[in-house]
Amino acid sequence: MQIVEQEIRKPSKVKTWHKKTEHREAQFTFFETLGLPTSRQVSTIRPITILREKKLTQNGRNGLLHIQSRRYLGNKFKLLNFIEEIVKEKCAGYKSFCDIFAGTGVVGNHFNDNSTKIISNEALYSNYVSLYAWLAPGQFDKTKVSEYIHTLNNICLNGNNYASRHFGGAYFTMENAKKIGLIREKIEELDLNPKERAILLTSLLYAIDKVANTCGHYDAFRRILDTTAPIKLLIPDIKQERNWQNEIYCEDANKLIRSIAPDILYVDPPYNSRHYCDSYHLLENIITWKKPKVFGVAKKMLRGDLKSQYCLKTAARAFDDLISNANCKYILVSYNNMAEKGNQRSNARIKDAEIVRILSKKGKTEIFETNFKSFTTGKSRIEEHTERIFFCKTSR
């Protein structure tokens, strides 16, 4: 990896982000790489140097649950140092941070402190509930929550229920599926305020993910059901003292953008034609608990109203609309470079040149880059996969 000279403030402490990152000869304009005429808003591709790399671990400590302790396609947990470095270098004095396609919420959570307001938004209700548990303000009774989690873990199994009838022996052992259905039903009956309810549902969601007989999403289950450990709910480790000014939404990003004005807008939309509602239908089904009919081998409910414009041919138009309506100082966009490299469904919906063109209408745009092992289903290994942040300082 090339280390950009002016970034080496303390050479002995410098750590490069990823040792295997391709060596780049020099900075060059992004427009030149695409064979486009150079613009006044010149973009450069810059490998980033991490000066203070924090250790990131996925597993929970002290038997508690942590926000990152779940599997989620495209989650940016491993890229937090990379994102933080750009924010530190480019966005001095920010007071609010909006994670508008929040998914697991790990990015907003990373910037959540007493003096920063986090706006966290997500279209899927199952993710919204979890964001609410981790990041929303509001009181909750810690002892009551812990006692309920203990009670739910020791719930006595009776007959079949919605979850066991549809998902038992496929996504879960029959016993786990029965327990999931029973616990979910019980949460509806308990005397809980919205924060406490979100905490119990989040604890269930993460526990389901741990015992699911899948490779991390619910497009399919594995033929051999070897995930047999009994389901166990853990107590989420919530830093509630940091959440007092946060706002959590379950909205279409393009609608929400019209009513917020954060200092930093972080944009991490789906990249390709794989809809998140297809991959996480089961979690959405259990958390919304409307007990819909399910269809096919993968046992999915109808999801027409959950499809995202960012997974369709309209993606670039949706992105253009989002950015032109953004009222913020800085925009960071995560988008990977799998365009035309993976299989058809993995191909990025928006071309790099389009992203730069759209951002450049708002202000000067730069690109930061690091390499990253992509998720694949095993059929298509993508070499030289890089993650980039398109950064724009808006001239508002």
Ligand X SMILES: C[S@@+](CC[C@H](N)C(=O)[O-])C[C@H]1O[C@@H](n2cnc3c(N)ncnc32)[C@H](O)[C@@H]1O
Residue with smaller CB distance to ligand X, 107 or 170: 107
- Nearest alpha-carbon partner for 135 in 162, 179, 104, 92: 104
Please report how close the Cβ of residue 282 comes to ligand X at its closest, in angstroms: 14
Sign of the dihedral defined by the CA atoms of residues 357, 362, 363, 367, in that order: negative
Residue with smaller CB distance to ligand X, 222 or 345: 345
Please report how close the Cβ of residue 1 comes to ligand X at its closest, in angstroms: 23
Residue nearest to ligand X (CB): 103
What is the rounded CA–CA span in Å between residue 55 and residue 80? Answer: 10
Residue with smaller CB distance to ligand X, 96 or 104: 104
Element (H, E) at 186: helix 174-189
At 370 the three-state DSSP class reads: strand
Give contact residues for ligand X (rule: CB under 6 A): 72, 74-76, 101-104, 106-107, 121-124, 127, 252-253, 268-270, 276, 308-310
Please report how close the Cβ of residue 99 comes to ligand X at its closest, in angstroms: 7
Please report how close the Cβ of residue 101 comes to ligand X at its closest, in angstroms: 3
What is the rounded CA–CA span in Å between residue 90 and residue 106? Answer: 20
Residue with smaller CB distance to ligand X, 108 or 181: 108
What is the rounded CA–CA span in Å between residue 363 and residue 189? Answer: 51
Please report how close the Cβ of residue 334 comes to ligand X at its closest, in angstroms: 7
Bridge partners of residue 390, in order along the sequence: 333, 367
What is the rounded CA–CA span in Å between residue 380 and residue 344? Answer: 10
Residue with smaller CB distance to ligand X, 307 or 364: 307
Torsions phi, psi for 41 (to 5 deg)? -85, 75
Please report how close the Cβ of residue 125 comes to ligand X at its closest, in angstroms: 10
Residue with smaller CB distance to ligand X, 83 or 183: 83
Neighbours of 256 (CB within 10 A): 19
